[in-house]
Structure 1
Amino acid sequence: MSQRQSKSEAAGNRESERRRTILRAAIDVFARKGYHGCRIADVAREAGVAYGLVYHYFKNKDELLETVVETGWSGFVSRMRAVAEDEGNSLEQKVRGIADVAFEAYRVDPRAVKVLILEVARSPAGTQVVSRQQAFLDTIRMAADMFARAQGTGELRADLDPMLCASLLFGAIELGLTAFVSGLMEDRGPEALERAKLQIAESFLRGVLPGAAPSAEAAWKQEKVSSGTRPKAGKRS
């Protein structure tokens, strides 16, 4: 390696490190002050860099938040995808594994998860659509594919819609995490996180595993019989 290449690599490493430092500082400030209370000057002070250096990497606060979200979700989704696509595990193990990934992320970095869940919702609509919403939809589609495969092997009830199952699972996980990041949960320690993770996975699995509950179709027919109305085949009144 030439001296010029060595210097170029060193400069590139410094650039990457500065950028990571600014992003880490942004997470801390967004989590502490909220999106609207955060200023670029606050991020620069937190990162220990000059005010103008932040603008060297990010054109404004929206782009800074956008990058925080993209970076956070990419790691989040890749870990969940690894769980969902591991065909050595049963559906039950995959569901529990996905819940574990989500709550472990909060345990390791609660401020980052708070930004991903709460502060993005308070940011301008454009930021929400481009970053978090698209990533969230991609995650749901990934889980829907997992449920469709499980339905093909008989692990998922045949009467359920895989996309709806995926939406319900991630809706429960997101609301569970919201209870922690918003302060609704007074106990936010490791044991409380473990209980929440297990309760969400268990409650979900009770409804989707074969034999876990009457099918939606059977329940509907039973309701019609109980009310004295005879259901018509292939049509719901």
Structure 2
Amino acid sequence: MSMPFYVSPEQQMKDKADYARKGIARGRSVVVLQYDDGILFVADNPSRALHKISEIYDRIAFAAVGKYNEFENLRLGGVRYADINGYQYDRRDVTARGLANVYAQSLGTIFTETNKPYEVELVVAEVGDDAETDQIYRLTFDGSVADEHGYVAMGGQADAVAQSLKDGYREGASLASALRTAVRALEAQDSERRLEATSLEVAVLDRNREHRLFRRLSAARIGDLLSAADEGASGGASGGSGPGAGEGGEGVEGADGG
């Protein structure tokens, strides 16, 4: 007679965590970093239709790696949560912290109560009036939340990307030099790979804008900023030379509705 198959709860959780981690590592990376005028989001993402970076609310954005249908589901839930709370109470009551708590509960429940955990990692960020009041929360597949400062790397070979960010990150950098740092970090996973403007998805939360602070950057604008950063570096200039780092540029207004 065969013995009943038993897996301890600890082993079950470990297996689920390993499964989720492998799924997330297969995806392409996303980095989030602070710059002088706000928060910059850069994804290695050649798709023009499937976004990894999205606006959630006036001052709040969302970045994700992993399974698209799973994080898209979470994004839509976040937009609904923000809209309902902003409408019922006050727009200022919708915060990244509140949203991070909602996501933590959802992810935690999915991880413990279903057979297949979500293969996702998220960042929820809110731009403040200055760098001190910016908020960046990172959420993992099991609902853990970390309060991050400066920069975050998720997905792909995140350790290599994070190490490059650690070496290159400068507080208060211009948009152009922060973007160059981000792209170098994404390229750190593969020495052969050069990321062109067209294979990047880039957006900012720009604290100098009015009302909706989220803005997507077009490929032309990304190219201009990277050229400006390279000229600045080769000319020995330390800031974002060339096109003003905080300009409106030709960015497409980035509301993904909901």
Q: Which structure ranks higher in relative contact order (CA pairs < 8 Å, sequence separation ≥ 6)? A: 2
Same fold (TM over 0.5): no
TM, length-normalised to structure 2: 0.26
Larger Rg: 1
Structure with greater proportional strand content: 2
TM, length-normalised to structure 1: 0.28
Structure with greater proportional helix content: 1
